[in-house]
Structure 1
Amino acid sequence: MPPFCHIRKLEEGRMHKHLTWTDRLKIEKGLKEGLKPCAIADRLHVHNTTIYRELKRGRYTHLNSDLTTEERYSPEIAQQRYEENLKAKGGELKIGNDYELSAFIEKKIGEEGYSPAAVVGEIKRLGLTFKTEISEKTIYNYIDKGIFYGISRESLPEHGERKRKYDKVERKKAARAPQGESIEERPQEINDRQTFGHWEGDCVCGKKRTKETLLVLSERLTRNEIIIKMPDQTAASVVAALNKLERRFGKKFSQIFKSITFDNGSEFMDCAGIEKSVYGKDRKRTKVYYCHPYSAYERGTNENINKMIRRFLPKGTDFRKVTVAYIQRVETWINNYPREILGFETSGSLFERYVAEAA
């Protein structure tokens, strides 16, 4: 499923709903009226992919009177397959006849891009109750058995693969001396994520031979993400983006952005411009630290969230064709995603809490 489907779901704000027998009859009626799947989805207030999966579930080959054949949808076949799907592959399935829980899992993973861990965390966070309690491991097992219609390991963000052991590369000498302090000078409380307001920064590049890029900032404690579209990957654009961000947060900026850690890219070399406040010539708005060369692991939060961004804006994306509104929706999705490392709270809710407490 294309990543933009996840965004559309969020944008429309549609409530979770599993298809009933009545819904299937409405789908059949809509098809007879000549409606497209998107229009049927609008009518039932469900996501487009729910309808596409349902049409596949109820598909059969119809023999016409002139002996030609055509693909049609049968609500009877769809209902039968839906009910049998949970029973056929293991009569003692824990999920049993809990169709509502099954539909919730299909929706979260298949339509909104959640991982099994995030699904379990979302159930706990929202206090949802179903007939059955289910664990992350059980969801993985059911996916492998094909219990959930239209969901496979390929549907998962990381395909369920374990991360490889990371071998740190030998440090190389920088091509240029950083204009600010090295990460070695960064206080231990920042390294240990003990305090709020310390960020990691990077640029996400677009299609080759195009200038537009994204400045991405990740707060280390809450994992909150800010994504800003820039006209090019230059030091001047980075400073301009931070100027705009400072005006957005106003006097609270220096408390929310106490420090930012960048790599040694040329676009981050204007240390003085990055640190200088727009509200006073001699006033500093933040403190900049620089990583060692070829040491992306020193910005681990940034790197991990960049992978989430690439789910929606894969490598080779022409950012000239990507609107600011779409980028904002990607940012919102990331910040509303329940994170296991945060006890399945969302980074956005934690960030707002700390911002409210900022002096």
Structure 2
Amino acid sequence: MGCGYEYRFYDGRMAHELAQKRKVESREGIDVTPEELEAMRSIVRPLIKKGQSPEVIWATHAGELPVCLSTFYRYVEMGVFGDIIGLDLPKKVRFKPRKRRADETPIPRHDLEGRVYKDFEALPDDKKMDAVEMDCVVGRRGEVQAILTLLFRRFRFQLMLFLPKHNQEEVGKALDMVERLIGLREFKRLFGVILTDRGSEFLDYGVIEKSCTSRGSRCRVYYCDPMKSGQKGSCEKNHVELRKVIPKGSSFAKLTPAKLSVVCSHVNSYGRPQFGGASPLQLASQIVPAELLDGLSIGLVPAEEVMMKPGLIEL
């Protein structure tokens, strides 16, 4: 009496093809409900329209979003959102290497004896980490106004001070204002070591170092090597955030201290992924005296209201 079951034969190639087909089909489409998708759009779209990057949005709202950052980018490529496209996402900034002019000569080393970059590198690690990087941001060619920036290395908080003229005297006046707001003792604690480049507005270190409230000094300034502004790279990199609001080539003719305070507040309230989504201003408020923030009208902007695009202020 024979077996009543059907005969079956195994085909390894066909089995492999079927398994691959199931694997692909299981990953097609999107793995969220329509309600979750709409909730994600309502959170993400307004912040992207304000110039915030997906990295920052996910750092501050990860618990409210149903997918990870890489899946969001995949959904954008698939056109799932419709009203959010790749062009809405902030572009990567590319830097071109600076070219040295043929007629440009470096400042003689002996003019800055004891204040060159090798002297800065010889400082203890904690002093270097607590150093403030100083630079200037300029407007259109030929304009005299500028922005003095002072960046705290440890928590990426960057002060922005308006300079009516881009020169040594106005740099000194801006630092004098900061000293009067917080006092000499606090100035030494926060700005005791300053690292800057060899721009002409910074070369009179006496103006920078001399206290305006006593006969002594208030800080020690060090200079990067010629054509090596990358030695204060944190400051240069943070200017990218400032330039999102005030693009390169913008006129500073209508810029005022009040408008700059608004820009400073928004840029420093912008969350940073390296700090787990916390903003530089949130970290700075625990260290920087309130007299400085209040005196410069710098305040924390809620994450949902941060604007990182031109149009934040009128220029």
TM class, shorter-chain normalised?
0.7 to 0.9
Higher relative contact order (CA 8 A, sep 6+): 2
Letter paired with 1:329: V
Q: 1:259 to 1:243 in 2, by over 3 A?
A: same
The residue matched to 1:97 in structure 2 has which SS? helix
What is aligned with 1:116? 54
* Deviation at residue 320 of structure 1 after TM alignment: 1.4
Specify which of 101, 125, 128 is matched with residue 189 of structure 1.
125
Letter paired with 1:350: L
Contact 2:47 2:57 in 1 (8 A): yes
Letter paired with 2:221: V
Deviation readout 1:13-56 (Å, 9 max, x if unpaired): xxxxxxxxxxxxxxxxxxxxxxxxxxxxxxxxxxxxxxxxxxxx
Q: Structure 1 stretch 140-149 or stretch 310-319: which is displaced more? A: 140-149
The residue matched to 2:135 in structure 1 has which SS? strand
In structure 2, distance between residues paired with 1:163 and 1:273: 35
Contact 1:120 1:134 in 2 (8 A): no
Deviation readout 1:149-196 (Å, 9 max, x if unpaired): 443333333x2x4978x98999x9623445360121122415863xx4
The residue matched to 2:132 in structure 1 has which SS? strand
Contact 2:60 2:276 in 1 (8 A): no
Contact 1:110 1:151 in 2 (8 A): no
In structure 1, distance between residues paired with 2:137 and 2:242: 9
Letter paired with 1:255: R
Letter paired with 1:102: R
Contact 1:106 1:149 in 2 (8 A): no
The residue matched to 1:355 in structure 2 has which SS? coil
Aligned-residue CA RMSD (Å): 2.7
What is aligned with 1:66? none
In structure 1, distance between residues paired with 2:245 and 2:97: 28
Q: Say yes or no: does 1:330 pair with 2:266.
A: no
Counterparts of residues 199-348 of structure 1 (less than 5 Å): 199-250=132-183, 251-281=185-215, 283-348=216-281
Specify which of 39, 45, 68 is matched with residue 100 of structure 1.
39
What is aligned with 1:135? 68
The structure with more radius of gyration: 2
Contact 2:116 2:224 in 1 (8 A): yes
TM-score (norm: length of structure 2): 0.73
* Deviation at residue 280 of structure 1 after TM alignment: 0.8
* Deviation at residue 307 of structure 1 after TM alignment: 1.1
Letter paired with 1:228: L
Consecutive unaligned residues of structure 1, counting only runs of 5 or more, are 1-89
In structure 1, distance between residues paired with 2:219 and 2:60: 35
Q: 1:153 to 1:173 in 2, by over 3 A?
A: farther
Contact 1:95 1:134 in 2 (8 A): no
* Deviation at residue 199 of structure 1 after TM alignment: 0.8
In structure 1, distance between residues paired with 2:181 and 2:115: 27
* Deviation at residue 333 of structure 1 after TM alignment: 1.1
The residue matched to 2:198 in structure 1 has which SS? coil
The residue matched to 1:353 in structure 2 has which SS? coil
Deviation readout 1:104-138 (Å, 9 max, x if unpaired): 11111122x211110111115xxxx53x5322212
In structure 1, distance between residues paired with 2:139 and 2:173: 19
Deviation readout 1:55-99 (Å, 9 max, x if unpaired): xxxxxxxxxxxxxxxxxxxxxxxxxxxxxxxxxxx7424364221
* Deviation at residue 327 of structure 1 after TM alignment: 1.2
Q: 1:148 to 1:244 in 2, by over 3 A?
A: farther
Q: Say yes or no: does 1:145 pair with 2:78.
A: yes
Q: Figure out how many residues of one structure are paired with residues of the other and give that number.
A: 254
Specify which of 107, 115, 120 is matched with residue 175 of structure 1.
107
Q: Structure 1 stretch 310-319 or stretch 220-229: which is displaced more? A: 310-319
Deviation readout 1:326-345 (Å, 9 max, x if unpaired): 21111111111111122221
Contact 2:127 2:193 in 1 (8 A): no
Q: Structure 1 stretch 234-243 or stretch 99-108: which is displaced more? A: 99-108
Q: 1:146 to 1:248 in 2, by over 3 A?
A: farther
Contact 1:173 1:293 in 2 (8 A): no
Letter paired with 2:75: Y
In structure 2, distance between residues paired with 1:93 and 1:107: 23
Consecutive unaligned residues of structure 2, counting only runs of 5 or more, are 1-27, 291-315
* Deviation at residue 224 of structure 1 after TM alignment: 0.2
The residue matched to 1:238 in structure 2 has which SS? helix
Contact 2:139 2:145 in 1 (8 A): yes
Counterparts of residues 47-62 of structure 1 (less than 5 Å): none
TM-score (norm: length of structure 1): 0.64
Q: 1:96 to 1:189 in 2, by over 3 A?
A: farther
What is aligned with 1:73? none
